[in-house]
Amino acid sequence: MNFTLTPEQEDIRKLVRDFAAAKIAPSAAERDEKELFPRELFAEMGSMGFLGLPYPEEYGGAGMDFVAYAIAVEEISKACASTGIGVSVHTSLCSWPIYKYGSEEQKKKFLTPLAEGSKLGAFGLTEPNAGTDVGGAAASAVKDGDTYVLNGTKVFNTNGGEAEIEVIFALTDKAAGPFKGMSAFIVEKGTPGFSFGKKEVKMGIRSSVQRELIFENCRVPAANLLGKEGQGFKIAMSTLDGGRIGVAAQAVGIAQAALDYAVRYAKERVQFGKPIASQQAVSFMLADMATQVEAARLLTLRAAFHKSHDLPYSKEAAMAKMFASDIAMRVTTDAVQIFGGYGYSREYPVERLMRDVKITQIYEGTNQAQRMVIAGNILR
Amino acid sequence: MALAVNTEKRGGECAAGAPERGAGEKTVGKDKAEYRGVLVYAEQDRGKLKNVGYELLSAGRKLADALGQELAALVIGEDVAGLAPALIARGADKVYVVEGPEYGAYSTDGYAIAMEDVVGACRPSAVLIGATNDGRDLAPRVSCRLGTGLVADCIELGVDEETGLVAWTRPAFGGRILATALCPEHRPQMGTVRPRIFQRPEADAARTGQVIRVASKVQSGDIRTRLLETVQVCAAGCNLEEADVIVSGGRGLGGAEAFALLQNLADTLGGTVGASRAVVDAGWIPAVHQVGQTGKTVGPKIYFACGISGAVQHLAGMSSSDIIIAINKDPDAPIFKVADYGIVGDALEILPLLTAKIGKMLNR
Amino acid sequence: MEIVVCVKQVPDTTEIRFDSGTNTLIREGVPGIVNPFDKNAVEAALQLREKTGGKVTVVTMGPPQAKNALKECIAMGADEAVLVSDRALAGADALATSRALAAAIRALERYDLIICGRQAIDGDTAQVGPGIAECLGIPQVTCVQKIELDGTAARVERETEEGYDVVESGMPLLVTVGKGINVPRYPTVRDTMKANRKEIAVMAAAELQACVRKPGLGGSPVRVRKISAPPPRAQGEVIQAESAAEAVDALLRKLSDRKVI
């Protein structure tokens, strides 16, 4: 049993924290207000080595593990949750399935620019009629010579329109249904027949983009099939297991930010002649918030540790994601409460945290779906 | 452009493997008593004495009186003997003058030799130097050469009751603590002192004193740097350290445009514009205006803090102002804890009103 | 071009607290960081090296954990690092520190330019740079905001109260730099990992040779007598008014009552 980070992991925390405080945090409120996607920040994070942390150096990565990755997502999300989810989707939903299931050629061609950060990645599974239940998936891919012809629509695609590389799921065998007949494809932006629909206007993570992807007779080289035909569902589910670690880390980062703001404010804000932190009603709230954040972080890092050490992590990731997002919702709400009227004002940062965090209970599988995963694991 | 650096002339004996220069040995222990009196360095700029020199005369006078010793001043420059009477009128018993064309512009090498020579000639117990850019360049060079101690950037001077030594008090850790230091075994005891901490003494034309010229010992090649050009970034009189009124702005102003409003108020009051680190970093205003731990340390009669939240690092640079006026939208901004007067509100709205009304008051 | 940068590991003064009950600084849990001005010094050295070639060596004096500060500088791009570390050096004041660092620099094969941060944010003395220059017998220019090298000469801009001076000097030369000179780069993940594996030379007091006969506290003229919390400014008043105009009137009444305007 060892709860200390390795010196390398500590270095990553410091490196990302310093960078995020200097470069990401100052403009976060403005980007939220104006719904600006920080493409230049992704370029900079790429050259810093933040976008390929868990992948081997031979593919342009940093050769670190998923704990270091989770720490990075937490620190980035502490500064800006929108940027945090962009990094998470890029790293665990797009790069990982290519790393895990891709051929050597695919890794060289697609993983390397992703890990180096010269290209941005995204992941397209969700469809208008296929959210938590993949059973409604309708996008199709029909083999024609050395290409697959894709047709269908994907929605809520994070990084969509910005990403140069998408991992897209489509049915290659409609009769077999999504569980046995779905396949995964690497689709590059700019491929004829691949276009973008509307951009979502959202409650939170407003400087992150979610777009509709439209495939109309889009011809994808057969060489871009990820894994084998029919492996799509397995690839999607194992990828989402890892994605949940990223979302859990994002929630921890947002919650930590809310806690930090609340502690500072409670010490500064004077009511009835003394700082409100000296009121038990407030100090106990802060104690609960701190405990919850710490517990969520431990669950998150443990799931990341499992993934790094090839231990089973599906249940662990689901628990971390569910718990971290639920407590983060509570912690950010409490932070707004501690700030009182100012907390509700856009001049202070905590209302943004509360808006941003709600989505962590929903995406990468709703928290209800996480309970299904966890229950399935313990009732086996 | 090839300037060979001469490392043999002054200092640097250490480099040749000889015992370190002035290792302090010759000034410690038995002959400590030979060092008597207080020497104040009266910095001048283009023939005009800086205020800080006068201020140090009042601090030095108190020290000298407490020790029952003499107060001397030192002035170095090209043509500066004429400044001596002003120093005598403000408390100096003696004025040492080192004059010559080689001192026309400040140089570390030239001025350090001059100061070293004067200290050698008058053997003061304590040397006070203004904590200006040049003072903080010169003082450590000289103290190191003399092998003695230096306490930088003091804001309080006293005499330690137990030992009779100068007690030098200065802030450290970004103003979070005050440390009082002594220099027990080495002479002279040296310190740099912040401008505007001490009152400038009244001139007393009846005072008399002695003017002593010390021959310049600087030789060709001693001064290894050359001043090519002096560039003024802000208009003359923007010297924050010497300003009576400073109107400072921070991030709360929302943008660089607001600094025109600060400038208007500063102009009306004959003051200077300052800034917090955040806005200097954001590029709203050049770094020469920055007040705080990593910028200038100021002590004006009135300090306006507009849209400045009051981070400890900023407070470290301005909390010795006589009167602090804070204007900030955030009623919980820490600046209100140190402000004498606070207005909760939008500086963009308040500044023009303030400027207009003060303008009227002053014209009356 | 052999460039030496002197750095100091300092507690992050934004996080440090003073306990007025025990009259001590609470350093517990306060992270050690590279003094911010020293990062500007490293950055300046790296930029010069990129133009002129050569080597950047970082030197620090401190306890063994000061190695972390050196590693950060290596990760930024410095070539070599030297840690001067010895119990005998504990308690060194600015003079003793200057002597020790000068001795360590002298032990290097060659140095053309020494760059220091203009002051450390813990002590704020701004003395060690000039002290090193004096011990080495080389010229100095403090508070520099721009450095240009031209063969054997340096042309620098030195901050003044109202702007800057352009100063020329031969080399070797020591300059201290403020934060106006540049924006320090962030080390990349890969360079940070590489820096972790880098061996860092440690120099003990005995290796500093005869020049530092009395290292540490014994060779330090300045003794700290006491530390205390700064006296708080009396809490002033927040002017209550219905409108901005009324607030301004109230303020001006108070200022003219005190005869400051």
Read off the DSSP letter of residue B274: E
Q: Does C199 reside within a domain?
A: yes
pLDDT at B235: 63
Domain that holds residue C261: 233-261
CB contact under 8 A, C260 and B319: no
- Non-local (6+) Cβ contacts of A291 within 8 A are none
- Residue C162's pLDDT is 82
Residue A60: list chain C partners with CB under 8 A: none
Contact B312, C14 (CB under 8 A): yes
C67 — pLDDT class (breaks 50, 70, 90):
very high
Distance CA B281, CA B41 (A): 34
Instruction: Write out the residue limits of the CATH 1.20.140.10 domain(s) in chain A.
Output: 234-378
Q: Which residues contact B156 (CB under 8 A, 6 or more apart)?
A: B168, B169, B170, B178, B180, B197
How sure is the predictor about B20, in pLDDT bands with cuts at 50, 70 and 90?
very low
C250 has pLDDT over 60: yes
The band of B343, judged by pLDDT with boundaries at 50, 70 and 90, is: very high
Cα–Cα nearest to B122, from B145, B98, B104, B103 = B98
Q: How far is B91 from chain C (nearest CA, A)?
A: 27
In sequence order, the 6+-apart residues with CB closer than 8 A to the CB of C91 are C216, C217, C220
How large is the angle between the packed helices A280-308 and A314-339, nearest 10 degrees?
Answer: 160
Asked if A57's CB is within 8 angstroms of C189's CB, the reply is no
Residue B18 has pLDDT above 60, yes or no: no
Query: Are A121 and A115 within 8 A, CB to CB?
Result: no
Q: Is residue C224 situated within a structural domain?
A: no
Question: Does the beta carbon of A58 lie under 8 angstroms from any beta carbon of chain B?
Answer: no
Are B240 and B289 contacting, i.e. CB atoms less than 8 angstroms apart? yes
Kindly state the DSSP code that residue B200 receives in the 8-state scheme.
P
For C46-58, write each residue's pLDDT tens digit: 999 999 999 999 9
The pLDDT, as a whole number, for residue B16 is 35
The answer to whether the CB atoms of B14 and C102 lie below 8 A apart is yes
Residues C17 and C44 in one domain: yes
Mean pLDDT of all residues in chain C?
A: 91
Complete domains list, chain B, with CATH: 13-213 (3.40.50.620), 240-363 (3.40.50.1220)
- In chain A, CATH 2.40.110.10 covers 122-232
Task: Tell me whether residues B176 and C17 touch, CB distance under 8 A.
Answer: yes
Please tell us whether the domain made up of A234-378 is placed in CATH 1.20.140.10. Answer: yes
Mutation site for A-interface testing, chosen from B277, B330, B335 by largest number of A Cβ within 10 Å: B330
Residue of C nearest to B362 (CA): C261
Q: Contact C188/A47, CB-based, under 8 Å?
A: yes
Query: C238 and C210, same structural domain?
Result: no
Q: Do A49 and C196 touch (CB under 8 A)?
A: no
Output the six-digit token pair for C163: 């702007």
Is residue B293 pLDDT above 50, yes or no? yes
Write the CB contacts of A282 (distance below 8 Å, at least 6 apart in sequence): A266, A276, A338
Q: Domain A7-120 belongs to what topology?
A: Butyryl-Coa Dehydrogenase, subunit A; domain 1 (1.10.540)
Q: Does B334 reach chain A within 8 Å, measured CB to CB?
A: yes
Structure confidence at residue C28 as a pLDDT band (50, 70, 90):
confident
Cβ neighbours of C227 in B, within 8 Å: 172, 177-180
A368 and chain C: CB distance < 8 Å anywhere? no
At residue B13, the pLDDT reads 39
Could you tell me which of C154, C79, C69, C86 has the C-alpha nearest to residue C109? C79
CB contact under 8 A, A265 and B332: yes
* Percent above pLDDT 90 for chain C: 65
pLDDT at C56: 98
Greatest Cα pair distance in chain B: 71
Q: Flag whether residue A8 sits within 8 Å of chain C, measured between CB atoms.
A: yes
Say yes or no to pLDDT of B248 above 70.
Answer: yes
How confident is the model over B177-226, as pLDDT tens digits? 899 999 999 999 999 999 888 989 999 999 999 999 999 889 889 999 99
CATH number at residue C187: 3.40.50.620
Residue C213: per-residue pLDDT:
64
Residues 6+ apart with CB under 8 A from B296: B240, B241, B274, B290, B317
Write the single-letter amino acid at B165: L
- Please list the ranges in chain A whose pLDDT falls under 70: none
Best probe of the B interface among A265, A268, A274, by most B CBs < 10 A, is: A268
| Tens digits of residue pLDDT in B131-166 | 999 999 999 999 999 999 999 999 999 999 999 999
| Position with higher pLDDT, C233 vs A113 | A113
- % of chain C with per-residue pLDDT over 70: 98
Going by DSSP bridges, is the β-strand pair C163-170/B225-232 parallel, antiparallel, or unpaired?
Answer: antiparallel
In a domain, residue C227? The reply is no
Q: Which residues of C touch B149 (CB under 8 A)?
A: 93, 95, 220-222
Cβ–Cβ gap C193/A47 under 8 Å: no
pLDDT tens digits along C96-116: 999 999 999 999 989 999 999
Q: How far is A270 from chain B (nearest CA, A)?
A: 8
Residue range(s) occupied by CATH 1.10.540.10 in chain A: 7-120
Checking if the pLDDT of C205 tops 90, the result is no
- Terminal-to-terminal C-alpha distance of chain B: 59
Collapsing DSSP to helix, strand or coil, A193 comes out as: coil
> CB contact, 8 Å: B332 with chain A?
yes
Single-letter amino acid, residue A98: I
Transcribe A285-306 into DSSP letters: HHHHHHHHHHHHHHHHHHHHHH
Chain A positions in Cβ-Cβ contact with residue B329 (cut-off 8 Å): 347
Q: Is residue C225 part of a domain?
A: no
Q: Is pLDDT above 60 for B22?
A: no
pLDDT at C152: 86
In a domain, C11, yes or no: yes
Counting one residue from chain A and one from chain B, the pairs whose CB atoms sit within 8 A come to: 6
**Structure confidence at residue B288 as a pLDDT band (50, 70, 90):** confident
Q: What total of structural domains would you count in chain C?
A: 2
pLDDT exceeds 90 at position C146: yes
Chains touching chain C through at least 3 C-beta pairs below 8 angstroms are A, B
Mean pLDDT of chain B: 88
Least CB-CB distance to C131: which of B24, B144, B301?
B144
Q: Which of A48, A59, A73, A116 to mutate to test the interface with C (most CBs of C within 10 A)?
A: A48
The verdict on whether A364 is a catalytic residue reads: yes
Cβ contacts of C122 on chain B, cutoff 8 Å? 172-173
- Distance from C-alpha of A20 to C-alpha of A35, rounded to nearest angstrom: 19
What is the CATH code for A122-232?
2.40.110.10
Helices in C122-213 by DSSP H: which ranges?
128-136, 189-197
- pTM, whole model, 2 decimals? 0.86
CB contact under 8 A, C229 and B177: yes
* Contact yes or no for A265 and B334 at CB 8 A: no
Residues B228-240 have a mean pLDDT of 78
Question: What residues contact residue B311 under an 8 Å CB cut-off, 6+ apart?
Answer: B276, B277, B292, B334, C14
Sign of CA dihedral B17, B20, B21, B25: negative
Beta-carbon contacts below 8 Å between B and C: 327
Question: pLDDT tier at B15 (50, 70, 90 boundaries)?
Answer: very low
For the question of an ipTM over 0.85, the answer is: yes
* A60 at interface of C, judged by CB pairs closer than 8 A: no
Of the partner residues C186, C187, C189, the one whose CB lies closest to the CB of residue A62: C189
